[in-house]
Structure 1
Amino acid sequence: MAVGGRNVGGVRYHHVDVFSSVAYSGNSLAVFPDAAGLTGLQMGRVAKELRHFESIFLIRDGEGWQARVFDVHEEVRFAGHPVVGAACVLHALAAGHGDGDGDGDGDWTIHLPDRTVQVSTCRIDTGRFHGVLDPGPVAFTDTATPRIAHRFGLTEDDLDQGLPAQVVFAGLRYLVLPVRGGALARARITADVTADLATLGAEYAYLLDAAAMEGRHWNNDGLVEDVATGSAAACVAAYLHRHGRLADGQAATLHQGRFTGRPSEMTISVAVGEGGTVGVRVGGDVALVGEGRLDVLP
């Protein structure tokens, strides 16, 4: 699908809310569909200016798109909600209707620094799309990981004794820490956990109440809580499947964002292919909120 380029006199971007069926919920995102000519330094400064949890910058590359994702601190190698949101914006633009009137399905190849991912999209109604991410290969630690409940303001009694803590890789390495009902509301990070996670082979942590299908995730310093973490949802899907909580081909809804005031829903599923290959899918709705233009670049 051909997508229109940058408007003369500025760089255009789209404001969308990802993993929500309505605007002003879910995880907000700025999508720059034509970032050709912008340097990484400029992208980082723009992301800090707009202050969405993340911003994604796209450059057409043959049949696919090169993508760089920045949060307000740094560039990130992989992220779920930005690529799902970006694909839905590309779908709307490809149909020639920025208000989301494009019909039919879309398939998008997005090249991130560490891996190439596929996103399929469809229009739900005016201003609302649905995207499904295939994040690529999944890997696990061989054995259960020591539990570090105290680093999240919890005790061992707050942990789900029926599930192990385990590091899962699906683009990023997450420690999936299973907790009992009610523990999510008490959880918090009071001191940076980066070093603790590194000793376990993890980059980030995701607290999961498997019974309620709800999770929480923060930056490692605990200062910012994420609204909906697509990269972690991919790890959760593979984790639940491995431990018998998600059947092959079964779809389930993972909730996040309740404690930030922006409830979000991510649909997760796993299909096992030939040779036992685990194929994970993470999907959700995307609401198109508005468009803007930067007349002055950093």
Structure 2
Amino acid sequence: MRFHHVDVFTDRPYSGNGLAVFPDAAGLTGPQMLAVTRELRHFESVFLVRDEPAEGTWRARVFDLAGELDFAGHPLVGAAAVLHDLHGGGADRGAWTLRLPARTVEVATRRRGPGRYASLLDQGPAVFLGRPDPSGLAALFGLEPGDLDPGLPPEVLSTGLRYLVLPVRGDALARARVVAPLDVPLARLGAEFAYVLDAAAAEGRHWTNDGLVEDVATGSGAGCGAAYLRRHGRTGDGEQWVLRQGRFTGRPSAMAVSADGRGADVRAVRVGGEVAFVAEGRLRELPDPGR
């Protein structure tokens, strides 16, 4: 079974967020997909199966090292670039429908040169789920209450996954870290993950909830960040801007984001970026189907 290794949210290999894309994963079980993802040790892997007879439509499943995700940003951005490379028929532009188990998304692609593409993922509308009491939130990341941005409240929202967006100021982003597992405190807030955001610098950070791994570039978190800043009037309606992440991992990444709407009515959120092809490979043996 062949796969492609691409770097997402960067225009050059060996930067951005690495991803394994399996463009023809028919027959693989969920346990096999998880085992492959853990073997390759990418932050996430995406597995695709052509959805006949719909033109340009593929079923997609995304796994990280812990299990399957209902939604993710950088795997879908990278997957669409691989589909364009394999099935674009030489066209400079393409459009792809990716059907996840929980939802369907649209991704537009553009050829930028040999082994280079740009993808733009439409994440759909944002759902705002509440503004938690900020007391104690800074401490989850080793920060002080004064490190929080006084002009922007913490908020839980979703464009596919539920994030606590925690705005900070000054050098707080550089000092932030996960000091204890986040699963329980986030669940109390109705969130699954957390995205620490410096709105003034247009930069964010995200970790696994155990704090052991920092994500290089988080498309789902970036979508929430874009929706959040549009709701609070920090960006224009439909204005595209660049959200940066990955500086602290040594793999700087750039995500092009925008959001349409006003107030809590954010109707469309888009996240995109460059995709650089790095390598192709072949699995010589598949995991045990019952693993």
What TM-score does the superposition give when structure 2 sets the normalisation length?
0.94
Backbone CA RMSD of aligned residues: 1.4
Structure 2 counterpart of 1:166, one-letter code: E
Instruction: Note if contact 2:259-2:266 (Cα within 8 Å) is conserved in structure 1.
Output: no
- 5 Å-filtered alignment, 1:10-21, equals 11-21=1-11
* More divergent stretch after superposition (137-146 vs 112-121): 137-146
Distance 2:167 2:261 in 1: 23
Cα distance change, pair 93–145 in 1 and its aligned pair in 2 (3 A): farther
Distance 1:146 1:210 in 2: 17
Distance 2:272 2:22 in 1: 21
How far apart are 1:217 and its partner, in Å?
0.2
Structure 1 counterpart of 2:76, one-letter code: V
- Report the counterpart of residue 49 of structure 2 in structure 1: 59
Deviations 1:43-76 (A, max 9, x none): 1111011111100000111321111111122111
How far apart are 1:271 and its partner, in Å?
1.9
Is 1:33 matched with 2:26?
no
SS in 2 for 1:141: strand
Equivalenced residue count is 282
Unmatched 5+ stretches in structure 1: 1-10, 97-101
- Report the counterpart of residue 4 of structure 1 in structure 2: none
Is 1:129 matched with 2:120?
no
- Report the counterpart of residue 263 of structure 1 in structure 2: 252
Distance 2:197 2:124 in 1: 22
Instruction: Note if contact 2:22-2:47 (Cα within 8 Å) is conserved in structure 1.
Output: yes
Deviations 1:134-160 (A, max 9, x none): 012310024454350001000001110
What TM-score does the superposition give when structure 1 sets the normalisation length?
0.92
Q: 2:78 aligned to 71, 85, 91, which one?
A: 85
- 5 Å-filtered alignment, 1:1-298, equals 11-62=1-52, 63=54, 64-95=57-88, 102-147=90-135, 148-272=137-261, 276=265, 278-298=267-287
SS in 2 for 1:135: strand
Distance 2:27 2:130 in 1: 44
Instruction: Note if contact 1:84-1:133 (Cα within 8 Å) is conserved in structure 2.
Output: yes
**Structure 1: which 4+ aligned runs deviate by more than 2 Å?**
141-147
Distance 1:39 1:114 in 2: 17
How far apart are 1:277 and its partner, in Å?
5.3
Cα distance change, pair 207–54 in 1 and its aligned pair in 2 (3 A): same
Unmatched 5+ stretches in structure 2: none
